[in-house]
Structure 1
Amino acid sequence: MILIGLLLVILFGYSLSRPFGNKFSVIEDLGLSYILGIGIFAWLMYSLSGLGLKITLGNYLTILILLITLFYLVFGRRFNIFAKLRKLLGGKVFEKREKILIGFIVILLVIAFVHAIYWPVNVWDSLVLYDFRAKVISEKGFFLQISRDFEYFAHYPPLTSLAHVWIYLLNGSNPRILYFLFFLAFIGVFYAKLRERLRRFSSLFLLLLLVSIPALLHHSTFSYTNLPYTIYLSLGFIYLHDFLVDKNTNSLKISAILLGLSTFTRQHEPFWLVGILLTL
């Protein structure tokens, strides 16, 4: 059930990115699909909870399916992910040195994945706030209604907690897989952006450097807001850079959404203001 629920979120994110065109590579498409999907889905939970809709598995499965269907009916011609996957998997020949780099990247990702799924939520801030909120919300079915009575409950932005809620509604017990998927999606988008300007070997080498950064690798294995916030913020600036260089308004729109979601993850660091200043 968890796999189906996460696939629906990814498909939802893929649907959301269709209005921005169909020129993304498949790796960028898949990475953005998760990053946008889980963020906008959490925002929907928050917003609809404020309108009185109870947070239950049935309600949000229905909403996901209806929204995916609606986007498919409107942007059906841009739903070509399977054609892109066939193109990606067909006829790729890697040099020996590229295979070595890929091997190191895969080893690091496997280590992070095993660590993420083996240990339960065990870091303090998550135990007493992020994951605690998720367990209360998944049991009671509301967020804003509870936060009115407990100020601390709503003191921090709720994106990660609401993402945890989805795992618990799907009868899961360990939401840490979400953070590994954040990391995996991020390196996919990062590699795709590198490939727009660099050769494959150079892109893989820089990707290995990114994946091997201890802080990033470590944060992909536990449930703090630091990694999702860093991903939303950094990708927001990357797409903003694309807009400033190429004048593609779709890049600006994606940047605005990503920077907005960064404030829905953490609010104490006002780095998103830099994005506004750069566009003036």
Structure 2
Amino acid sequence: MLPAAILVTILSGFAIVNMIAVRFSMQEKLGLSFLVGMAFQTILMVLLDQLNIAVTPVSITAATSVAVAAMLPFLYRKRQHIITPVKVKGINGLWIVFIGFIVYIEYMNFTKCLYFPTYDRDSLAGFDTIGYIISREHTIRHLSIFQGDYMPSIHGPGSYITYAPMVQLSYAYVYMFGAETSKLIPALMFGFFLLAFYGAALRAIGTSGAAVATFFAMMTPQMLSWSSLSGTNVIHAIYASLGVIYFTLWFRKREQSMLSMGALLLGINAWCRSEGIVFIGACLFIMLIDAIIRKQYKALIECTLIAAAPALLWTLFMKVNGLYAEGIISTHLIVDGAKLKTIWDAMTNHYSNTIYYGLTFIGLPVAILLNIKSLIKEKDNIQLLAVILLSSFLYMFLLYQVTYTWDSINNVLAYSAKRFLFCFTPMIWYYVFSNGSVVTAFLKLDGLFAREKAITVK
């Protein structure tokens, strides 16, 4: 049952991706298929539960089949562009070496992920356990551990009851279909992410440059380490980074498919973790400025509706079903210099920590300096840089407004904030390698080493 369930997830995601962006490359479509498909399954699970239908393998499969069947007439009209050859142009020795490294390291990471059982504290205390119980009780809103008489502290600040549901429900999904471990989800997520990131990188970077960029995005030390665990952070980083990348790619050619895909992935990012709203806020602010300058607001409205939909769905679901916890965000502006200094010191320490993030946060200022001329004159990559900087500020402001009634500020900064920064590492490496000066350098390398004929894999 499990292989069939994974295949259904991939196919449903592939159908949705083609509905949105049928002209995307096959690398992008395949990479995004599982990422979008898994989010789609979890949304269906929430809707089924709200309709008082037991969340079981039969009901999920039936709902997925109905949804995909509804897409078929639209997909049929686009059938010539749905499955296309995978074109790899300008293969050279540099590309072969880095793709070889990526495949080998991901193989080791994938097998490590599946071999070791779930052991990280957050998963055992929340995500993995909640997913397993959902798979046995076939409900979310009436879950036994969400009842006050069973767990008196369930409505306290920081409770798992209000956590965005994507990860827990994806674990429940594979458990329902017979998985022995929830770690199949992070294993598949990271593998499909690498393919999607590479496909997106090909849009702005040369062949070998895309391979090198993917390698650096993959090799962020702490992110690679956590990609084999059952936490939410790497999964969240996957959606947040790809959402921002596709959103900013839209500014290059104004293709609707780019904006729609970016907005969808940004919406799923908040479906993974509530803090993901900082990326939505940063993107919409940049888009608002663009809309005011161009006096065109249709794209802004569409992006806002798509990106906000998953978070609004979960908020409504919690409201209707009495899933609540004490708030941890102050609704009035806090004035606390000592707290601000604590956050600033912790975050600057993270940014300079090469053990956690490798060269990521060193690469960003270096890339800005190398590209400063094009950045000023041609606004090269300015939207991506602006989103990175603005969302960093918004996250620190969010940390500042948290009341820390359930945990100490030092613990949150040392652990949660450290892992939140995983979201920025793929964005930064994409920025570094898609800068004009770096792209030019890699195109010269491609021209120097590339074979005369493109290789097409059918």
Query: Scaled by the length of structure 1, what TM-score is found?
Result: 0.92
**Aligned: 1:163 with 2:170:** yes
1:88 is matched with: 86
Whether contact under 8 Å (2:56, 2:135) holds in the other structure is: yes
Q: 1:107 aligns with which of 101, 104, 111?
A: 104
**Aligned: 1:52 with 2:76:** no
Whether contact under 8 Å (1:233, 1:258) holds in the other structure is: yes
Mapping of 1:196-207 within 5 angstroms?
A: 196-207=203-214
Taking the aligned partners of 1:171 and 1:52, their CA distance within structure 2 comes to: 23
Q: Residue 38 of structure 1: CA displacement?
A: 0.6
Cα gap change, 1:265/1:83 in structure 2, threshold over 3 Å: closer, same or farther?
A: closer
**Code of the aligned partner of 2:86:** L
Q: 4+ residue stretches of structure 1 with deviation over 6 A?
A: none
Q: Deviations over 1:141-182 (max 9, x none)?
A: 100122465444522111101001111111111121211211
Cα gap change, 1:93/1:21 in structure 2, threshold over 3 Å: closer, same or farther?
A: closer
Q: Residue 30 of structure 1: CA displacement?
A: 0.9
Cα gap change, 1:101/1:145 in structure 2, threshold over 3 Å: closer, same or farther?
A: same
**Code of the aligned partner of 1:70:** A
Q: Any gaps of 5 or more consecutive residues in structure 1? A: none
Mapping of 1:178-193 within 5 angstroms?
A: 178-193=185-200
Is the partner of 1:264 in helix, strand or coil? helix
Q: Residue 236 of structure 1: CA displacement?
A: 1.1
Q: Residue 95 of structure 1: CA displacement?
A: 2.6
1:139 is matched with: 136
Taking the aligned partners of 2:184 and 2:256, their CA distance within structure 1 comes to: 33
**Code of the aligned partner of 1:60:** I
Query: Scaled by the length of structure 2, what TM-score is found?
Result: 0.57
Mapping of 1:61-72 within 5 angstroms?
A: 61-72=61-72
1:23 is matched with: 23
1:259 is matched with: 266
Aligned residues: 277
Q: Residue 223 of structure 1: CA displacement?
A: 0.8
Whether contact under 8 Å (2:44, 2:63) holds in the other structure is: no
Taking the aligned partners of 1:173 and 1:213, their CA distance within structure 2 comes to: 28
**Code of the aligned partner of 1:129:** G
Larger radius of gyration: 2
Is the partner of 2:181 in helix, strand or coil? coil
1:276 is matched with: 284
Q: Residue 21 of structure 1: CA displacement?
A: 3.4
Is the partner of 2:272 in helix, strand or coil? coil
Q: 1:124 aligns with which of 106, 116, 121?
A: 121
Q: Any gaps of 5 or more consecutive residues in structure 2? A: 149-153, 289-458
Percent of pairs identical after alignment? 23
1:174 is matched with: 181
Whether contact under 8 Å (2:23, 2:81) holds in the other structure is: no
Taking the aligned partners of 2:182 and 2:62, their CA distance within structure 1 comes to: 22
Q: Residue 242 of structure 1: CA displacement?
A: 1.6
Whether contact under 8 Å (2:118, 2:230) holds in the other structure is: yes
1:36 is matched with: 36
